[in-house]
A and B are shown apart, each in its own frame.
Chain A
C-alpha cells in the first residue's frame, strides 16, 4: 500500500462517525489494519430484483415436490423440466445461462436468505435490505453508503479528487440506489446512457448560501450540477475507451450490464455498480395457467440468467474476471401456497446468487422444508441472514476489517464461504458448514418438544420462528460449551400451525420445521 494513502485513511478513521449515536472512534482499535483498504481493486455488481422474487419456482427443491404439489400445484414447475444442479435441486428451465456458470464453478447459490421478523411490505423490506439493518431498526443510510463513509466521510465535498477521479459507485438508471446512501449524500452517481453525456453550463452561483431549508436544498442542487459535470468527462473517456455503446440486446438487464462492462473495461475505479430488474411482484399470472414453465416469471428469470451469463462472458474476454463479482437480491420471496390468480403473495426468505470467477462455487444451505399442511400466509423459513452475506463480501471481497464490518452492519454477523480468493474448485459445499446437528421430538408437538443438539465451544442462538418469519422465542443466546445439549421448548402458548426451529453458531446454521397441533 502506498504510504501516503495509508496516512490519509488513518487520519480519516479518527473522525468521529456516529453509528446509532455512538462515535465509532470511541471504539478501541487494536490493529492498524482496522480500516477499509484503499488499494483494493475489487468490484461488486448488485442486481436488484424488485417486487419480491418467487424463490421456490426459481430454485426447485426436488426433494420437496410431493408436498409442493399439494400446496402450489397451480404454479409449480414440472420437476422433469427443471435444470438439475443436483439430484434434489434444479434451476428454473429458462436459466441455462446460470447452469453454465454453475458447471464452470462461477456460481454460488445461497438458499433461503432473509432476516428475522420478515416484513412483507415492499418498501419496508426493500429499506431493510438496502440499509442492511434489522427489521426493527429504521436506518436511513445504506449498507454500502456506510462502507464508503469509512474512507470518504467528507463526500461529496472535494470529489472527484486526484486519488478518486471516478464516481465511487454507479447506479444504472435514473435514480440513485438506496444501498449507497450515506449520512450526508448518496455515494452513487446515476447514469442512464454514457454516450449522451455532455457538460452542463454552470451559471453564476450565489456568493453565500444561507443556513436555511432553502439554502440546504440550493447546496444540494449546486453540488449535483458540479458533480455531474466533474464526472461526465471521466465516464465518457472510460466508456469511449472501451469502444463506446454496445448495441441493445432486447434484454433490458443485459443492456444495463453492458454499460457496466464497458465502464469497467474502460478502467474506472468505481467499486460498486447497481442495476435493477423489476416486475417480480407476481400476485397474478406469475406463469401460464396451463404451462407453468412459461409466463411472466419465466421471462424475468431468463432475462436475469442470460444477462448474468452475457456479462460474465464479457468480463472474462476482457481478462477482468478476478476483479468482478456480482450478486442478486430481492426484498422477499413469495408464499409457499399459490393464490387463486395463478400467482403468489408476499412471502419470506428466498435464494440468491453470487457469481464470478472468484466465488466459492456451489450451493450453500439445505433445501427448504415444505410441510404437507401449509397455512395460506406461510413463507419459506430463513436459513441465512442477508447481512451474513454482506459481511462476507465486505470482509473477503473488499478486504474490510471484521471490526469495521461490525460497525457497518451494527453487529457481528457470521461470515459465509461465498468468496474464495480466486482459487476456484468445483466443490459442492452442501452440508460443509453443517457441523451443527439437532433433533426435536415430539414433532408434531402439543405441549412441548425436546430439542437435542450438539455444538462446539461456541456462540449459539436457538430460536423459534413462526411461518411469517417472526422470531417468536429465543431459547438460547450465548456461549455454549462443547458437547450435547437439551432444551425443552414449551409449546402451550403457540397456536396450532407450522413453526421453525433455527440454530445458528458463528459458523453454521440449520432450520427445521416444527408442527404445533
Chain B
C-alpha cells in the first residue's frame, strides 16, 4: 500500500467538497443553457442585462439598449471604458511642494511630514473611486474592476499611490486576460505588501502569497485528499511556489515606490512540485520565474472553472447546483480556455446566454451596497457639484456615508474578499440584516427627500426626481408614471395592491387630476415653485418605492 492510500484510509473515504466548490442542490432545475439567447428583446430584458452589468442604468440607457438589440449592447458593454483622468489634489491646504490643487498626485512624493498630506490624497482617491462608479458609461469595466478588487484583494495599504496603481492595473485589465492580470498582480506593489511577498526571501520564505494565489486567486481549494493535499494543490506546492516567488520586494527609496527584484534574495534552486502538478519542477528563472509559475498554474483546468464559478455567482445567482456546475460553469471554462483566458469571451457567452434571461436568473440578486447606492444616484439623476473641492467632498461623503453597509473600497474583511460573495449558505443575503437594512433605508430616504447635508458643500443634496420622471412618456398620468418607474427601478412586475400603495403615496390628499395639472404646470412653466409642487408629491412616492424589498433586488 502506498503512503497516499494509507493516509486516505485513515482519513476516511468520504471527503466533502471544499468551500469554493460546494454545490447547493436545492436550486431549481436549470433553465436555458449557454446557447445564445434568441427570445424577446424588450425593456425588461435590456434592463436586466444593464442592471447586472453596471452600477445602475438610467431609463435612457435602457431605451438605447432596447433599440440597439442584444448583440450591439453586449459589444458596447464589452468595450473597455477610456482610462479615467487621475485623481487630483482638491484642497489648497495642506500645501504640497510637489503638486498644486487640481493636479494629479499619483506620481509625486507622498510628503508624510506635512500633516494631513497623505490623508488628503487617500481621501482624493476614495472620492475618485466613487466618481468612477457614478460616471461609468455602458460598459462592464467598473463592475469588473470591483470584481477583481474582490478577487485579487488588497486592503489597508497606507500609500494611496500604490492603491491607485493597483486599481489602475485592475481597471486596465478588467475585461482583458485573466492570466496576464494574475502575472501582473503577483508583482504589484500593493499586493507584495498585502500578502507579504515583499518579505519573501531565500533565507526566510513567506508562504502567504504562494498559498493565496492558488487557494483564492486561481485554483480554489479542493477536497482534503490527504494531509496537506487539497486535491488542486498541496502544501508541498505552496512551499515550492513561495521559493519561486522569492526576491521580489517594494523599493521605497526613491520618490515613488517601485516593485523590485533583488537577485540575492531569490532562491535559485529547482523547486519540485507535487503530483497535483504532475511532478513538474520549476527551474530557476530569476526575475521571470513568477511568470513561469503562473503559466504552470494556468495549465490546470481549475484555473478556469474556479473563476467562472465566481463570475456566475457575481452576475447570476449564488446557488450553483450540479447541473449549473456541469452545464454553465464547465461550459464557461471551455470558452475561457479556448480563448486563452480572455475574460470578455466568458462575459459575452454568459450575459448573452439563454440561461441569463431565464426566470431563475431574473431579479434574484440582492444588490451589493455599491450597486444599491449608485443605482439610486444614477437612475434618479443625482447631480454632483461642479466645483472641484465640492465635487470631491460629495464623493467622499458617499464613500464614508455608505461604509456601514459593509462594502468599502480598500477595506475588505479578509483576503477572501467581502463575505457575502463567498460565505455559504447565505451568500449575498448577508448584505442585508437588522443593522444594514435601516442604513440603506436611511440612505434612500434622505436622498429622495433631498435632505442630505454634505460637509463643506453648500446646500442640501438629493435626487433630481422631477428631472428623472420627465424622461418618461406620460408622467402626468399617475398610473402610467407608477408603471414606468416600477419597470425601470424594480426587477419584476409588482401586484396591484402595491401599485395602489405607491399611487396613494404620490397623490397624498390630491386627486389624479390635480397631479396631472401640477405636472403640466411644471412642464409648461418650469420654475422653482412649480418644480417644488411636483417634488412635494414625488418625494413620498420615491421614499416608499425605494424602501420596498423589491428595490433591493436586481
A interface residues, Cβ below 8 angstroms from B: 117, 119-124, 127, 135-138, 140-141, 173-176, 178, 181, 186, 189-192, 197-198, 200-201, 203-208, 212-214, 216-218, 220-222, 224-225, 227-228, 231, 278, 283-284, 339-341, 345, 376-377, 466, 468, 470-474, 493
B419–A117 contact, CB under 8 A?
no
Measured CB to CB, the closest approach of chain A to B128, in angstroms, equals 25
B interface residues, Cβ below 8 angstroms from A: 3, 6-7, 10-12, 14-19, 22, 27-28, 196, 199, 201, 203-208, 211, 215, 221, 224, 227-228, 235, 239, 317, 319, 359-366, 404, 406, 413-416, 419, 422-426, 429-430, 432-438, 441, 491-492, 494-495, 497-498, 500-502, 544-545, 547-550, 552-553
Partner of B430, one of A140, A175, A222, A228: A175
Measured CB to CB, the closest approach of chain B to A90, in angstroms, equals 28
B contact residues around A186 at 8 Å (CB): 426
Partner of A283, one of B19, B196, B364: B196
A221–B199 contact, CB under 8 A?
no
Measured CB to CB, the closest approach of chain A to B265, in angstroms, equals 10
Partner of A181, one of B199, B425, B432: B425
B contact residues around A120 at 8 Å (CB): 211
B404–A283 contact, CB under 8 A?
no
A117 to B15, CA, bound (A): 13
Most buried by A among B205, B438, B500, B553: B438
B501–A138 contact, CB under 8 A?
no
B contact residues around A212 at 8 Å (CB): 28, 359-360, 362, 364
Q: Report if A181-B406 is in contact (Cβ < 8 Å); known contacts: A123-B19, A213-B317.
A: no
Measured CB to CB, the closest approach of chain A to B103, in angstroms, equals 34
B547–A201 contact, CB under 8 A?
yes
Q: A137-B16, A340-B199 are in contact. List 6 more A-B contacts (CB 8 A).
A: A220-B366, A224-B437, A225-B437, A340-B204, A376-B205, A377-B235
B contact residues around A174 at 8 Å (CB): 404, 406, 433, 435-436
Q: Report if A206-B22 is in contact (Cβ < 8 Å); known contacts: A186-B426, A468-B235, A493-B3.
A: no
B434–A191 contact, CB under 8 A?
yes
Partner of B498, one of A141, A203, A220, A228: A203
Measured CB to CB, the closest approach of chain B to A128, in angstroms, equals 10
A217–B364 contact, CB under 8 A?
yes
A204–B319 contact, CB under 8 A?
no
B501–A206 contact, CB under 8 A?
no
B6–A493 contact, CB under 8 A?
yes
A121–B497 contact, CB under 8 A?
no
Partner of A123, one of B317, B416, B497: B416
Q: Report if A222-B491 is in contact (Cβ < 8 Å); known contacts: A190-B434, A228-B434.
A: no
B contact residues around A231 at 8 Å (CB): 434
Chain A residue nearest to B204 (CB atoms) is A340
B208–A345 contact, CB under 8 A?
yes
A198–B224 contact, CB under 8 A?
no
Measured CB to CB, the closest approach of chain B to A344, in angstroms, equals 11
Measured CB to CB, the closest approach of chain A to B211, in angstroms, equals 8
B contact residues around A137 at 8 Å (CB): 16
Measured CB to CB, the closest approach of chain A to B266, in angstroms, equals 15
Measured CB to CB, the closest approach of chain A to B320, in angstroms, equals 12
B contact residues around A122 at 8 Å (CB): 414-416
A contact residues around B228 at 8 Å (CB): 468, 470
Measured CB to CB, the closest approach of chain B to A176, in angstroms, equals 6
Measured CB to CB, the closest approach of chain A to B152, in angstroms, equals 16
B208–A220 contact, CB under 8 A?
no
A213–B3 contact, CB under 8 A?
no
A contact residues around B552 at 8 Å (CB): 221
A contact residues around B419 at 8 Å (CB): 175
A136–B16 contact, CB under 8 A?
yes
Chain A residue nearest to B492 (CB atoms) is A214
Give me the 7 closest cross-chain CB pairs, A-B, nearest first: A340-B204, A470-B227, A204-B501, A213-B364, A221-B549, A140-B425, A214-B363
